[in-house]
Amino acid sequence: GTLITTEQCLLNRNRNAHLGKAEVERQLGDYLGVDSVIWLPRGLAFDETDGHVDDVCCFVRPGVVVLSWTDNREDPQYEIVREAEEVLRSARDARGRALEIHRLPHPLPIEMTPEESESVDRLDSTWARPAGNRIAASYINYYPGNSVVVVPQFGCDLDVKAKQTLAELFPDHKIVGIENSREILLGGGNVACITLPVYAPQRR
């Protein structure tokens, strides 16, 4: 199969400083059965996990991916998503196919409020969460189940567009929006980050 990840994450000194790209690919093959790895340079800005791919891009099904997207030139994500799209357009999957790329709108910038900042219980090992900090919101951080797709909602106009886009990409799934997902986001992740998909076996 094919795996998409980011160099910023898997090649980060704080994770795998002793491993080069070739060795990471070998281990991904050993543990996950991966035949091909597509390396995006980096994840989204403001992501405290060092650029996890689940905020910027993911597979819809084999050969089809969805990419977070913004046309706002003032947004730091603008260059990042174009950089990712360029890599995806030139990539081929394990079967030699060009990828079909769909764009999912990136939510409007969200900043932590003073009330939210004060409500977060901090440990010594966690990042500071001062008021005014931009939060790494992304609709790409959804959970795809066997019959539903659970997608974050951020209380902005693009919530509806994100659900509509996912409904087109997953026509056999019910699209469920989590209206209070901002609460999850305050901890540094979102729906995909707090779930672990366990899929039912396909019926033959």
What is the tens place of the pLDDT at every residue in 70-79? 999 999 999 9
Report yes or no: 53 and 4 within 8 Å, Cβ to Cβ: yes
E strand or H helix at 7: helix 7-10
What pLDDT does residue 202 have?
Answer: 67
Q: Compute the 3-state secondary structure of the chain and give helix, strand, coil in percent, each to the nearest 5.
A: 30, 20, 50
Q: Which residues are catalytic?
A: 193
What is the tens place of the pLDDT at every residue in 15-37? 888 889 999 999 999 999 999 99
Q: Which two tokens stand for residue 75?
A: 């947004």
Report yes or no: 123 and 147 within 8 Å, Cβ to Cβ: no
Higher pLDDT, 69 or 157: 69
Q: Is 64 helix (H, G, I), strand (E, B) or coil?
A: strand
E strand or H helix at 168: helix 158-169
What pLDDT does residue 46 have?
Answer: 87
Q: Say how far apart CA 159 and CA 1 lie, in whole Å.
A: 32
Q: Which of 62, 75, 10 is nearest to 41 (CA)?
A: 10
Report yes or no: 189 and 49 within 8 Å, Cβ to Cβ: yes
The values of phi and psi at residue 57, to 5°, are: -160, 150
Report yes or no: 128 and 70 within 8 Å, Cβ to Cβ: no
What is the tens place of the pLDDT at every residue in 113-153? 888 888 877 777 777 777 888 888 999 999 999 899 999 99
User: What strands lie across the sheet with 64-69, from one edge to the other?
Assistant: 57-61, 64-69, 100-105
Segment 96-111 shows an average pLDDT of 94
pTM equals: 0.89
Q: Is 144 helix (H, G, I), strand (E, B) or coil?
A: strand
Q: Which domains does the chain have, with CATH numbers?
A: 2-194 (3.75.10.10)
